[in-house]
Structure 1
Amino acid sequence: MVPVLSTRVCELFGCRYPIVQTGMGWVSGANLTAATSAAGGFGILAAVTMDETELDRAVRAVKESTDAPFGVNFRADQPDLDARIRVVAGQGVRLISFAGAPSKDIIARVHDHGLLAMPTVGARRHAEKMLDWGVDAVIAQGGEGGGHTGPVPTTLLLPEVVDAVGAEIPVLGAGGFHDGRGLVAALAYGADGIAMGTRFLLSAESRVPDEVKQRYLAAKVTETVVTDALDGAPQRVIRTELVDRLIGSSIVTRLPRAVGKAFAYRKLSGTSSRDLIAEGLAMRRNQGLTLAQLAMAANAPMLIKAALVDGDPDVGVLPTGQVTGLIDEIPTVAALIDRIMADAEATLARLAALGAPPARAGPEVVAIGVPPTTGTATGSAEGRMDGEA
């Protein structure tokens, strides 16, 4: 491995390569998480929709498959977050990632249990606040990323976040990354690595049904849309007839269905009615959601489950990054990570060659416009060829 590719993220997370698999709901199960960490990346288990028993079982399954470090993803406003943190802290999990911004108190509680805290941010000011509150690393996700996302593209957001907090904590770039060229580009911006969701969703170890993966492979870069019709927050999905209907419907039409989905989500996740209300109030307080948006908050997880778990994208939605339009195959995680690293090393070698002095082709080759000379003057001509005017 090229030394420059061993970054602060590798040291902090304990992984070989600066490649993170994000905690995608319904996608990043124990199998995918373990495969990523075993292959040298850093896998993150998606645990928001699990109850405590399922969480404990999934963490143990990862540990049975690999002794490499991994993380777990939670939502900062889950009412039983303390209990969840205790479950994973007792099993050697390295890091907790948050899709949204955790509070200063939550970050302190994560640290009290000996774990690292890493949120995803979509704006420089959010990264600065997270740094001030003590997080250990941040993922800067640009607008082309999957799931909930912001409007700023990765090429603008990533260097901005690096400039703001990169001197203090590692920054990972997310949104649009899928190969070694992207990894090198992120490093060139000053990031410490990349975090990928869609690229890992389209891997052999992903739990998404094969026929649904084919829907992703068939989608073009222009066939995704960002909408708040699912749960009131901007979210990127593959454009389907269902998505178009949701976008075209009013809140009055969507609300009854969303309420039903909320109770289905409560039962599935093991959340009591009391905790569901408490969670909703926390979301309203922290995210400024209206009552109608609160009722829709459980809508997205259940619609995503319908497609990614139950295998019926006609009645569910397909969260994705725009990068799905550049992916045309489903490799194993090990093959994917090996290829990314080989591609990154080849890209670095190609860039290094651009700055190398040209090879000497013999005494007949001279600089354009410079008469043939001998002796020390030849060195002078070569100097000009190398850019020393």
Structure 2
Amino acid sequence: METALTRLVGVAHPIVQTGMGWVAGPRLVSAVANAGGLGILASATMTLDGLRAAVREVGSRTGAPFGVNLRADAPDAADRVRVIVEENVRVASFALAPSRELITRLKDAGVVVIPTVGARRHAEKVAAWGADAVVVQGGEGGGHTGQVATTVLLPEVVDAVGIPVVAAGGFCDGRGLVAALAYGAAGIAMGTRFLLTQDSTVPDTVKARYLAASAADAAVTTRVDGMPHRMLRGELVRALERSGRAAALVRAARHAASFRRLSGVGWPRLLRDGLALKRHKELTWSQVLLAANTPMLLKASMVDGRTDLGVMASGQVVGRIDDLPSCAELVGRVMDEAYEVLAALPAL
């Protein structure tokens, strides 16, 4: 199936695996690439040396194109861009809108730039700055998310920009792919669906929690880091929602201390980042501290299997997922279903 997305990045199928922190590592990314989709490596939780090693590991596992996701607001974003360029990565994906300077630097090096946005104005901004495509995530999506549903946001963005649009938020099968194409998208991006595959390194006990969840269990909370965050309501989230401000501050400080020890980031840096967040958003100090170490809360679940100590980002589509195929099986199934739906449409 050829679309503007497949032509742009050189993959066989218009399916993207999103750059989920602690989940989208070399094994998952290379499995998606070998299946004909676009795998995106999550780099926000990696050191620069770790990122270079991970990129090279993906390259040793596949000859197909893949991408790297990075935070546009990271202090070392320019250094990470340099690694992407030097290692000849095909696609740079951003969780936040990148600056015009970062986009220009990547494009000058021949890297395809695909930011993820949650609003039409953000899509218009990055398109004007030269982004090659955008991933548009509706409110159904996991992690940090907005309030507008994909069915409303997607056509709004498609009509507003002249670059390929990839639909995210609520997709897991071939019917969704055909629906997205009908709205004018060039493909779909899936996070939760790829998390729940055999190639995902997430512990089996955590995958079982996802498989047992309903769509209603993937709820939005602001108690983790002050911003709307869709995740399964596990033990930590329930504790945060029950806690008063003082208890939440103590718990946040404890988690921040753990983050500092593991990451090597000093307290001055944590406080500096926290003050910057507090200036731009109306956050309590407990939310500021949690925002600074949210990656560690994700690691507790996604790597260590401690769902009692961590958080589990999830899209609402989790309620429709009940199996753990390989990435090759999943991509093949999605495409088979899409062709079956397309074949049936003329009869209508």
Smaller-chain TM-score bracket: over 0.9
Paired with 1:57 and 1:270, the residues of 2 have a C-alpha distance of: 19
TM-score computed with the length of structure 1 as normaliser = 0.85
Is structure 2 residue 121 aligned with structure 1 residue 119?
no
Q: 1:130 is matched with which residue: 113, 126, 129? A: 126
The Cα of 1:341 is off from its aligned counterpart by 0.4
1:269, distance to aligned residue in structure 2 (A): 3.9
Does residue 1:218 correspond to 2:212, yes or no? yes
Q: What does 1:218-257 correspond to in 2, within 5 Å?
A: 218-257=212-251
The correspondence for 1:45, drawn from 41, 45, 49, is 41
Q: Structure 1 stretches of 5 or more lacking a match? A: 355-389
Q: Which residue of structure 2 lines up, in the alignment, with residue 91 of structure 1?
A: 87
- CA distance in 2 between counterparts of 1:250 and 1:129 reads 39
Residue identity matched to 1:202: L
Q: How does 1:169-188 map to 2 (within 5 A)?
A: 169-188=163-182
Within the candidate set 15, 19, 44, 1:23 is matched to 19
* Displacement of 1:80: 1.0
- The residue identity in structure 1 corresponding to 2:80 is R
Q: Aligned residues, how many?
A: 347
Structure 1 residues 226-235 or 104-113, which shifts more?
104-113
1:145 maps to 141
Cα distance, 1:23 vs structure 2: 0.2
Instruction: Give matches, 1:1-389, under 5 Å.
Output: 5-165=1-161, 168-271=162-265, 276=270, 279-280=273-274, 283=277, 287-288=280-281, 290=283, 292=285, 293-354=287-348
Q: Give the secondary-structure state (helix, strand or coil) at the position aligned to 1:310.
A: coil
Instruction: Measure, in 1, the Cα distance between the counterparts of 2:284 and 2:236.
Output: 24
SS in 1 for 2:136: strand
Q: Is the Cα contact below 8 Å between 1:25 and 1:48 reproduced in 2? A: yes
Query: 1:105 and 1:260, CA in 2 relative to 1: closer, same or farther beyond 3 A?
Result: farther
- The answer as to whether partners of 2:273 and 2:292 remain within 8 angstroms in 1 is no
Q: Which has the larger radius of gyration?
A: 1
Q: Distance in 1 between matches of 2:276 and 2:31?
A: 35
Structure 2 unaligned residues grouped into runs of 5+: none
Note the alpha carbon deviations across 1:338-359, whole angstroms, 9 max, x for none: 01000000000000222xxxxx
Q: Give the CA deviation at 1:36.
A: 0.4
Indicate the percent of aligned positions where both proteins have the same amino acid: 56
SS in 2 for 1:222: helix
Amino acid at match of 1:181: R
1:76-109 CA distance string (max 9 Å, x none): 1111111111112111111111112222223223
Cα distance, 1:291 vs structure 2: 6.7
Question: Match for 2:29: what amino acid?
Answer: T
Output the aligned Cα RMSD: 1.8
Report the Cα distance in structure 2 between the residues aligned to 1:290 and 1:220, rounded to whole angstroms. Answer: 30
Tell me, in whole angstroms, the C-alpha distance in 1 between the residues paired with 2:302 and 2:229. Answer: 16
Q: Deviations over 1:10-57 (max 9, x none)?
A: 011111110000000010000000000111000000110011121111
Verify the 8 A CA contact 1:77 1:283 in the aligned structure 2: no
Deviations 1:238-264 (A, max 9, x none): 122331221222343222332343343
Shift of 1:64: 0.2
SS of match in other structure, 1:73: strand
- Cα pair 2:274 2:292 within 8 Å, conserved: no
> 1:384 maps to which residue?
none
Contact 1:31 1:206 in 2 (8 A): yes
